[in-house]
Amino acid sequence: MLLGVHVSISGHIYEAITRAQDLGCNTMQIFSRDPRQWRRSKLEAKDIAEFRKRREKSNISPVFVHIPYLINLASPYNILYNSSVKAYIEDIREVEALGGEYIVTHMGSHKKSTELQGLKRITQALNKILDKTAKSSVSILLENTAGSGSWLGYKFQHQRLIIDGIEDKNRVGICFDTCHAYVAGYDLASLEGYKATIAEVNDLIGLKRLKLIHLNDSKDKLASHRDRHEHIGKGQIGLEGFRRMICDPRLKDVAFILETPKDSSNADKINLQAVRKLKRD
């Protein structure tokens, strides 16, 4: 089982590798920079070299890098839209320099335009990004969202429409966030709901494009559209909901990353143990 957590890059980015190893992870996710600010500087070459060196000595693969929150490829405002495209291209190049395999992105907010216009904007942006990074080995994963406000991606039809409009589909897949799906209305807590959800993903997108699952329980109720993550088994989805997913043979090659609350020094360790126990049992 490919299992990891979203790891802090505080100090130096290469320290994330050591943190993941100390938790017994064989995959991981990071931010390559401050997710709440525009880029202020590039990673130093010596830090990139040390990251790659430590990773080569580890068993961590693949490495996922989450796009910063400020980037909005669906924005109707040209200044933000163009800045987002430029920053995204820079981030892909940085992920490639680090040796990362995937970049994970929320699908953006259409703000005061329409969903259809937002989906068109993000499709156009991704086509430009993929063209400008045509020689890159880094793939893009579209993450589903909780559906609050004007955020796109709360139903898998959105990912389908975007992928349909992308010219080079070879470097595009999806990331499935369990908390986001549940509060968007996909009932992962029940057997029937789980079966229906996986069937929809397979029918609309294809499970071959599902490369990453964010394992997060939900503090809030089904279809509440409130994005608040909870510890594994302590929320509305529950242990059986997660057991069903991690033991599904169709998902045996998919990576699982925890983005659960870090409200104690051993929170990641406890959540990882909970998932490993479900897999063993």
Instruction: Classify 11 in phi/psi space as left (phi over 0), alpha (psi -120 to 50) or beta.
Output: left
Please say if 259 is a catalytic residue. yes
For residue 113, count CB atoms less than 10 angstroms from its CB and return exposed for 0-12, middle for 13-18, buried for 19 or more: middle
* 211, two tokens: 């490369």
Please say if 281 is a catalytic residue. no
Tally Cβ neighbours within 10 Å of residue 234: 16
Of 19, 55, 158, 180, the active-site residue reads 180
Please say if 66 is a catalytic residue. yes
Please say if 177 is a catalytic residue. yes
Of 91, 94, 101, 177, the active-site residue reads 177
- Measure the CA angle with vertex 59, ends 57 and 63; round to 5°: 100
Three-state DSSP class for 180? Answer: helix
Please say if 69 is a catalytic residue. yes
Of 101, 217, 220, 227, the active-site residue reads 227
The span from the CA of 244 to the CA of 135, in Å, is 38
Q: Are 69 and 32 in contact (CB under 8 A)?
A: no
| Identity at 278, one-letter amino acid code | L
Consecutive H or E run containing 121: helix 115-132
* Beta-strand pair 229-230/217-218: antiparallel
The span from the CA of 222 to the CA of 184, in Å, is 7
Please say if 106 is a catalytic residue. yes
The span from the CA of 238 to the CA of 89, in Å, is 38
Please say if 36 is a catalytic residue. yes
Of 19, 33, 214, 231, the active-site residue reads 214
Of 12, 240, 259, 276, the active-site residue reads 259
Please say if 214 is a catalytic residue. yes
Of 91, 101, 143, 217, the active-site residue reads 143
Q: Which residue has the tokens 């126990």?
A: 277
Of 6, 19, 106, 171, the active-site residue reads 106
Instruction: Taking the CA atoms of 224, 3, 268 and 242 in sequence, report the sign of the dihedral they define.
Output: positive
Please say if 231 is a catalytic residue. no
Of 66, 158, 231, 244, the active-site residue reads 66
Of 44, 56, 69, 203, the active-site residue reads 69
Shortest CA distance to 236 belongs to which of 259, 225, 223, 220? Answer: 220
* Catalytically active residues, by annotation: 36, 66, 69, 106, 143, 177, 180, 214, 227, 229, 259
